[in-house]
Amino acid sequence: MVDLRQGTFIRKLDQSGFLTEEDRETLRGLQLRTRDVDARQDLILEGDRPENVLVVLTGIACRYKISEGGRRQIMALLLPGDFCDLHVAILGHMDHCIGTLTPSVIAEMPRAIIDDLTANHIRITRALWWATLADEGISREWLVNMGRRPADQQTAHLFCELHRRLLTVGLAMPDGFEMPLRQVDLSDILGLSPVHVNRVLGELRAANLIALSRRKLVIPNLDRLQKFCGFNPNYLHLTPRIDR
Amino acid sequence: MVDLRQGTFIRKLDQSGFLTEEDRETLRGLQLRTRDVDARQDLILEGDRPENVLVVLTGIACRYKISEGGRRQIMALLLPGDFCDLHVAILGHMDHCIGTLTPSVIAEMPRAIIDDLTANHIRITRALWWATLADEGISREWLVNMGRRPADQQTAHLFCELHRRLLTVGLAMPDGFEMPLRQVDLSDILGLSPVHVNRVLGELRAANLIALSRRKLVIPNLDRLQKFCGFNPNYLHLTPRIDR
DNA sequence: CGCCTCTTTGAACATGGTCAAATAACGTGG
DNA sequence: CCACGTTATTTGACCATGTTCAAAGAGGCG
């Protein structure tokens, strides 16, 4: 079944700047099986050696681990268009779990397709590699965020990142976006306690940096929010590439 | 000049399990210029578009960023054999800085060599990709470490990781290793204050989990240390690959 | 309406941070 | 080899940020 929603990941790969119209055509022609998944379901567990590569088409998923202490740490957010487990093709086994945070539609890309793409489509291969490297850039920024920013700036920074990333997949407005994550999820992303996240959200609201209610996040003044947390979107590597 | 020290990165890539003797021969034949660098020197700055890819031959370097607040966060340690900036070939510009932590020897791999390798040596290409993905696994574990472990376990975990990684490049003994990082460096890795790192080190010493003096770290009981911090080396992807 | 989940609030506590100063280790030149 | 300046580690006292536990409200949904 050709699914129009796969436009999301084509657009994502296209951001690498490597694809030609021919490549996009190839990607559009892929026949992928899709799967509807509820919120808070595991897609892949640590140690798995999955046969298919999963791609998020709609919804939000995440990479996470459970620490010895039984606490969840989310290490990456997977938005529409993002690949869940490309690395497994190279590394062999998963070193973390992947689960949905919201109800999602997931596409399954058979290993055979990946093998074909990486063998016969050099630019698509580069785009795939680009995607994994861009992910890495984000996790580095999260380290800075957790290590060197106080909770309020850290939270604001996450919102700036989400806003920017959702914009590129057409899921945000210039001044806000649908925010389906719960406060517990935010706390597991930020490495904070849920209670503290709640208080920080209160502060950000009080400072009129955000408005958040009924799952809508409104950013009254994006520039102010970005300045507040020192957000510099460079690490997302979203700028149009004109140099190759 | 063929430099024997490039054995370090060949060994590193070999851990991917993808290389054949022919590939190793190819890598051994590379003519690389090397450079001696003092401790605490920048090799690459944020925004750079370096022409050569750098490889650490001896010493320890790191990826880092300086936050708005002027505080350094180290996001990765680069040990002998590690590539500094492979991603730049794909992403276009650096989103972080790279600098040495100790006196180091750095090899410069001209872009032309990388292009040749990735065009004509499929297994070496996969090994390179493997290396970047393994790095990513480490930064994910660091997120867990910072987000969900108290400072003492976090510090212990870093030592376990360092020990294991240094073992694979022949720079550690079964019960310890040379620890050239200062406490400030540790604090910038762990996202803690230098003072607190000092106190944590004291605790770990008091609990007889480590002995640390004159730049030698001794681990009296590795198993105990690993249990203490929940260290599971899985994420390093160092296990011998027999499945392909 | 009633249940369940999520958010909000309060009070006491703990972990880690800051500032400042003392001590120890290191490297260099005499 | 020692003295000195420099850099790194250690210690103390006080403070701030974030955590925990518990309970009360709000919202969403059948």
pLDDT band (50, 70, 90) for residue A163: very high
- Confidence (pLDDT) at A242: 44
Q: Is residue A144 part of a domain?
A: no
Distance between CA A64 and CA A95 in Å, rounded? 10
CB contact under 8 A, A191 and B146: yes
Number of domains in chain A: 2
B118 has pLDDT over 90: no
CB contact under 8 A, A140 and B96: yes
Mean pLDDT of chain A: 92
| A140 interface with B at CB cutoff 8 Å | yes
What average pLDDT score do residues B13-38 get?
92
**Residue A112 and residue A17 share a domain:** yes
CB contact under 8 A, A73 and B134: no
**Residue B166 and residue B68 share a domain:** no
**Residue B134 and residue B161 share a domain:** no
A35 has pLDDT over 50: yes
A77 has pLDDT over 90: yes
**Residue B196 and residue B134 share a domain:** no
Q: Is residue A143 part of a domain?
A: no
Of B92, B129, B188, the CB nearest to A241: B92
**Residue A96 and residue A156 share a domain:** no
A180 CB inside 7 Å of strand C: no
**Residue B171 and residue B53 share a domain:** no
**Residue A82: domain span:** 4-126
Q: Is residue A135 part of a domain?
A: no
| Whole-structure pTM value | 0.94
C1’ C10 / CA A8, Å: 45
Nearest-CA neighbor of B79 among B128, B143, B8?
Answer: B8
Q: Which nucleotides of C are covered by protein (CB under 7 A)?
A: 6-11, 15-20, 25-26
For B149-159, the pLDDT digits (tens) are 999 999 999 99
CATH number at residue B177: 1.10.10.10
- Domain boundary residue among A94, A126, A158? A126
- Domain boundary residue among B115, B139, B163? B139
What average pLDDT score do residues A139-164 get?
98
pLDDT band (50, 70, 90) for residue A48: confident
A148 CB inside 7 Å of strand C: no
B244 has pLDDT over 50: no
**Residue A88 and residue A49 share a domain:** yes
Tokens describing residue A209: 């940096």
**Residue B154 and residue B115 share a domain:** no
| B136 interface with A at CB cutoff 8 Å | yes
- Domain boundary residue among B139, B169, B193? B139
B210 has pLDDT over 60: yes
Nearest-CA neighbor of A9 among A80, A63, A102, A113?
Answer: A80
CB contact under 8 A, A143 and B190: no
- Confidence (pLDDT) at B241: 47
Q: Is residue A83 part of a domain?
A: yes
Distances (CA, A) of A39 to A94, A101, A184, A216, B154: 21, 5, 14, 18, 31
| B238 interface with A at CB cutoff 8 Å | no
A33 has pLDDT over 60: yes
Q: Which residues, listed in sequence order, are joined to residue A52 by a DSSP beta bridge?
A: A110
**Residue B114 and residue B89 share a domain:** yes
**Residue A66 and residue A98 share a domain:** yes
**Residue B91 and residue B18 share a domain:** yes
**Residue B155 and residue B60 share a domain:** no
- Confidence (pLDDT) at B1: 46
Q: Is residue B155 part of a domain?
A: yes
Q: Is residue B52 part of a domain?
A: yes
Tokens describing residue B23: 């590939």
